[in-house]
Structure 1
Amino acid sequence: MKLDPSFIWTAFVQILSVIPTTLLITAVSVVCGLVIGTAAALIRTFRVPVLSEVAAAYVIFIRGTPMITHLLLIYFGLSLGVDALSKQFGWAFRSSSIPMIAFAFIAFSITAGAYASEVIRSGLLAVNRGQLEAAHSIGMTTGQALRRIVVPQAFAASLPNVSNLVVGILHASSLAFTVSVVEVTAKAQIVASTNWKFFDAYLAAALIYWGLTLLIERASALVEKRINIYYRGGVA
């Protein structure tokens, strides 16, 4: 086997066109996952009756099963559910009308939520419990104290792990090709199929993932630096 630098460059250029799709899947999944994860973490941290057991079961199940399984369960399960409801109520809408990328959004958001839950929960546990009590002593409600004092500090403490979560979802977005979403890995496969130079095309895809990962890590380091300046009392 001999590498073809010109084809690697050609593949690289062609794959660049689908980077927005990969970044969109990553961004939507991480944002939705953080919302889900924060809710689950708060429920478990404050031991809300019934809901804390449901949240714990959710986290254990999702973390204990592969991400591709979540994607396939959502893809087939949601399709069956939508079609069954449409038939039951006489709706014209069918699962075939759902954009394929929507299945990736839902599946990856659910997965990200379980991992984000543990990340945020560790951050919540790192915040001194006395701060919540102090907030109550000056008349703040629990909701106000969480929003203004506890959760911001928890996110700050969790930022390195949140960065790892973003990178993990970025890499996992490559699984979206299993439901016909053309992202970086799928595009590399399409480009490679023109002359069977799969190694060269996947090498180009690997370089793109590597570059995106470096950008995420750099952005995370800058945000972490600004947050550290803020909590030291400096000027951001």
Structure 2
Amino acid sequence: MRLDPSFIWTAFTLLLSAIPTTLIITAVAMGCGILIGTTVALIRIYRVPVLHQLAAAYVTFIRGTPMLTHLLLIYFGLPYLVDSLAIQLGWSFRAVSIPLIGFAYISFSITAGAYLSEVIRSGLLAVNKGQLEAAYSIGMTTKQAMKRIVFPQAFAILLPSLSNSTISMLHGTTLAFTVSVVDINAKSQIIASSNWKFFEAYIAAAIIYWGLTILIERLTAIIEKRINLYNRGGVA
């Protein structure tokens, strides 16, 4: 077997068209994951009756099972649930109408939500409780205090972990090919299947993932720099 450098470049140019799909899956999963994670974190911090136990079970189950398992459970289980409800409620909608990428969105969002709930919870707990008490003393409600004082400080604390989670999710999107979503990983397999130059195709894919990872790291560094400037009283 001989390495074909020219095909690495060919594969690289062909893989560029799959980058938007990978980035969209990552963005949707992280965006929904942050919303789910924040909700779960607050439920666990304030120990909301019943919901606290359900939230803890959700986090334990998701963190204790593989990401691929979540995807397959959603892929095979969601159509059964949707079709059953549709029949009972008389809906015309059927699971076959759900786009394949929709299963990836749902599965990865649920996975991200469990992991991010712990990241967000640790960030919120790291903020000095005296900050919240001071906010109450000047007449702020809990919602105002969380929005104006606690969450901004927690975000600065959890930013590195949030960056790592984003990178992990970016790499985790490679599993989307199991439900026929053509991301970078799936595209590299399709490209290589015509001439069996899988090694070259995967090298090209690795370079793209590496570049995207570096981009996330650089964006994180810029945001972190602006936050540090703000915390020191400078101009962001």
TM-score, length of structure 1 as denominator length: 0.98
What's the offset of the Cα at 1:141? 0.8
Aligned to 2:170: 170
Aligned to 2:217: 217
- Farther off after superposition, 34-43 or 82-91: 82-91
Which one-letter code corresponds to 1:67 in the other structure? Answer: M
Residues 12-46 of structure 1: CA deviation (Å, up to 9, x unaligned): 11010010000000000001000110111111112
What's the offset of the Cα at 1:85? 1.9
Aligned to 1:86: 86
Q: Which runs of 5+ in 2 are unaligned?
A: none
What's the offset of the Cα at 1:89? 3.2
TM-score, length of structure 2 as denominator length: 0.98
Q: Secondary structure of 1:116's match?
A: helix
Which one-letter code corresponds to 1:7 in the other structure? Answer: F
2-structure distance, mates of 1:49, 1:83: 32
1:1-236 equivalences under 5 Å are: 1-236=1-236
1-structure distance, mates of 2:134, 2:89: 53
What's the offset of the Cα at 1:88? 2.5
2-structure distance, mates of 1:228, 1:55: 33
Which one-letter code corresponds to 1:162 in the other structure? Answer: L
What's the offset of the Cα at 1:120? 0.7
1-structure distance, mates of 2:35, 2:156: 16
What's the offset of the Cα at 1:91? 2.8
Q: Which runs of 5+ in 1 are unaligned?
A: none
CA RMSD of aligned residues (A): 0.9
2-structure distance, mates of 1:167, 1:10: 26
Which one-letter code corresponds to 2:230 in the other structure? Answer: Y
2-structure distance, mates of 1:112, 1:232: 32
Q: Secondary structure of 2:224's match?
A: helix
What's the offset of the Cα at 1:76? 0.8
2-structure distance, mates of 1:38, 1:92: 34
Report the identity percentage: 71
Which one-letter code corresponds to 2:23 in the other structure? Answer: L
Q: Secondary structure of 1:2's match?
A: coil
2-structure distance, mates of 1:102, 1:118: 25
2-structure distance, mates of 1:22, 1:31: 14
2-structure distance, mates of 1:86, 1:53: 30
2-structure distance, mates of 1:8, 1:58: 42
2-structure distance, mates of 1:183, 1:37: 25
Which one-letter code corresponds to 1:159 in the other structure? Answer: L
2-structure distance, mates of 1:166, 1:96: 30
Which one-letter code corresponds to 1:148 in the other structure? Answer: R
- Farther off after superposition, 128-137 or 77-86: 77-86
Q: Secondary structure of 1:36's match?
A: helix
Q: Secondary structure of 2:196's match?
A: coil
1-structure distance, mates of 2:142, 2:90: 46
